[in-house]
């Protein structure tokens, strides 16, 4: 942190006026602003600030604006605020700089409070400060500032309107977002994109599509917003159709769009054919894609071929290896990461603990968990605790896992308890399973999985009556088990199947093929029994 401002200034300076020194003053201002813009770290700020005070520029709005901006950028927001407080009559630009600093530092409440102080000091706001403070606002504060916007005549401001739409959309206030949209003077693709996002946030995908079709000139941001909205609302087929339409409509697609929305090895081929540099963004996305599609070997090839790896590259590779049960390889990648000077973060350690869990590497997993804070200064979160519970559950140390939960510094969530309940089913520990299920039932939102797992535990122990009662209790509570669903792409068309699905147009051929496969498997099984004499 920068040293105390008061120690440098000794209090506010007196503004010295000398009409003959105007040219010199302007030259000094330019020099000071240049010094501030070239400032690289906190240690350089105090000496520049002292020079600002000595040359009587501590009340110069241009210089102070830059000083506040630099301090905020260097994460010295308290120092920036001390600078601001020593200005006798801050103008709207200095208020904007300070509010921006508070918001970017995560101190939203301070930013909103300073905006209200500005209003009470009779400093007239402008579009920039209103846009800045809106970034810090919740719904109620947004409405209050919106009223001020209308009274002050800023209702037609493009930047203010866009921010208001965004806040209303994220808060689920679609009618308010639509009203602001309708009042926007220039509804181009940028404004339309924000409104499309608002519709998508509220689940109004039909309205979003209608607006999207009305946009005459669409850029890649607009296309991506609509496709992303379809994906978030589980309209996978429409998302893929729209992506292919985008391919035909746009001459050149940036690599980011390809990686995000294309499928299969075509992405990789496109990148190679276009001789694109395998940047971190593209490489990381490809590693993630190949890992999730089951081709971990290609994912490893992409990882090895990346020239400049970052922490995300290592995290993605470790996660992919963990997903495929390659626990030892994941640990080796982690060691390589540390040896190359990369600092593991929370995501890294979750991925590593998952790898230990999938491989049953209890001792290594416990060692990693116990060294998180001591070695890497990473405080364990619910995900890390969950990995240890899952690991203990997998190796059958269920009572130890439950004691671990009881002694945690944070409350367990339903995912953690559900994982241990599942382990109780696998290892046949009905007593502990009942205890965990009771905790889950007492929570606010027990899901269908809890009922189903406990029912299975009773059934596997021969307690059919209790198993039936749990199922009946589930029905009486109005809780339904979400049916399993899977998708497959054939000839550029997505086919979706649910459990017991008979709606597919080729259902007869599908079920006939399944029966053939079942007969073949039974034949192979009988053949093996005959050969082995069983």
Q: Based on the number of CB atoms within 10 Å of its own CB, is 321 exposed (0-12), middle (13-18) or buried (19 or more)?
A: buried
260 vs 114, residue with greater confidence: 114
Q: Which of 13-17, 254-258, 522-526 has the highest mean predicted lDDT (pLDDT)?
A: 522-526
pLDDT 10s digits, 14-44: 444 555 557 777 888 888 888 888 888 888 8
Write phi, then psi, for 325 (nearest 5 degrees).
75, 10
Q: Is the pLDDT of residue 261 over 70?
A: no
Sign of CA dihedral 134, 139, 144, 147: positive
Residue 401 makes CB contacts below 8 A (sequence gap 6+) with: 388, 389, 392, 393, 420, 423
165 vs 239, residue with greater confidence: 165
List the one residue out of 94, 28, 79 whose CA is nearest residue 56.
28
List the one residue out of 94, 96, 92 whose CA is nearest residue 83.
94
Whole-angstrom distance, CA of residue 513 vs CA of residue 533 = 30
Around 211, how many Cα atoms within 13 Å sit in the side-chain half-sphere?
27
Q: Are 447 and 480 within 8 A, CB to CB?
A: no
284 vs 444, residue with greater confidence: 284
Whole-angstrom distance, CA of residue 334 vs CA of residue 376 = 13
Least confident of 53-62, 86-95, 252-261, 298-307: 252-261
What's the first-to-final CA gap in the chain, in angstroms? Answer: 76
Q: At what angle do helices 139-152 and 108-120 cross, to 10 degrees?
A: 30
pLDDT 10s digits, 104-138: 888 888 989 999 999 898 888 888 888 888 888 88
Whole-angstrom distance, CA of residue 51 vs CA of residue 270 = 55
pLDDT 10s digits, 299-345: 898 898 888 888 999 999 999 999 998 999 999 999 999 998 888 99
């Amino acid at each position: 942190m920068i040293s105390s401002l008061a120690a440098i200034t000794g209090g506010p300076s007196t503004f010295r006026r000398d009409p003959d020194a105007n040219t010199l003053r302007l030259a000094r201002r330019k020099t000071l602003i240049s010094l501030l813009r070239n400032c690289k770290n906190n240690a350089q700020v105090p000496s520049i600030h002292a020079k600002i005070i000595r040359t009587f520029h501590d009340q110069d709005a241009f210089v102070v604006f830059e000083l506040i901006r630099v301090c905020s950028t260097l994460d010295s927001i308290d120092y920036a605020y001390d600078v601001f407080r020593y200005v006798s009559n801050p103008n709207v630009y200095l208020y904007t700089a300070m509010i921006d600093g508070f918001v970017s530092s995560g101190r939203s409440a301070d930013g909103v409070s300073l905006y209200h102080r500005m209003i009470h000091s009779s400093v007239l706001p402008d579009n920039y400060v209103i846009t800045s403070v809106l970034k810090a606002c919740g719904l109620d504060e947004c409405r209050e500032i919106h009223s001020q916007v209308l009274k002050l005549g800023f209702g037609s401001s493009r930047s203010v309107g866009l921010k208001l739409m965004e806040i209303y959309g994220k808060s689920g206030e679609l009618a308010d977002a639509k009203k602001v949209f309708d009042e926007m003077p220039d509804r181009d693709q940028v404004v339309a994109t924000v409104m499309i996002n608002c519709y998508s946030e509220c689940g109004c995908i039909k309205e979003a599509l209608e607006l999207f079709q009305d946009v005459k000139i669409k850029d890649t941001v607009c296309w991506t917003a609509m496709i992303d909205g379809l994906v978030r609302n589980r309209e996978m087929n429409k998302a893929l159709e729209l992506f292919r339409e985008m391919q035909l409509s746009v001459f050149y697609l940036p690599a980011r769009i390809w990686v995000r929305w294309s499928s299969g090895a075509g992405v990789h081929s496109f990148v190679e054919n276009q001789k694109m540099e395998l940047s971190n963004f593209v490489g990381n996305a490809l590693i993630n894609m190949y890992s999730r599609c089951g081709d971990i070997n290609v994912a490893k090839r992409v990882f090895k071929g990346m020239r400049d790896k970052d922490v995300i590259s290592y995290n993605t590779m470790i996660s992919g290896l963990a997903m495929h049960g390659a626990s030892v390889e994941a640990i080796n990648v982690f060691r390589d990461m540390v040896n190359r000077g990369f600092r593991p973060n929370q995501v890294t350690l979750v991925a590593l603990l998952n790898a230990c869990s999938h491989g049953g590497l209890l001792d290594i997993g416990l060692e990693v968990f116990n060294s998180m804070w001591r070695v890497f200064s990473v405080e364990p979160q619910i995900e890390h605790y969950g990995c240890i519970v899952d690991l203990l559950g997998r190796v059958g140390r269920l009572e130890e896992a439950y004691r671990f939960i009881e002694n945690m510094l944070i409350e367990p969530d339903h995912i953690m308890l559900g994982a241990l309940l599942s382990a109780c089913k696998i290892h046949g520990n009905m007593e502990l399973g009942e205890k965990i299920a009771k905790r889950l039932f007492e929570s606010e939102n027990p899901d269908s999985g809890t009922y189903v797992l406990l029912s299975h535990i009773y059934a596997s122990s021969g307690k059919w009556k209790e198993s039936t009662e749990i199922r009946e209790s589930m029905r009486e509570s109005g809780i339904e088990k979400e049916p399993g669903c899977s998708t497959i792409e054939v000839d550029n068309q997505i086919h979706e199947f649910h459990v017991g699905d008979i709606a597919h147009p080729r259902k007869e051929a599908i079920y006939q093929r399944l029966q053939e496969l079942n007969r073949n498997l039974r034949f192979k099984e009988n053949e093996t029994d005959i050969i082995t004499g069983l």
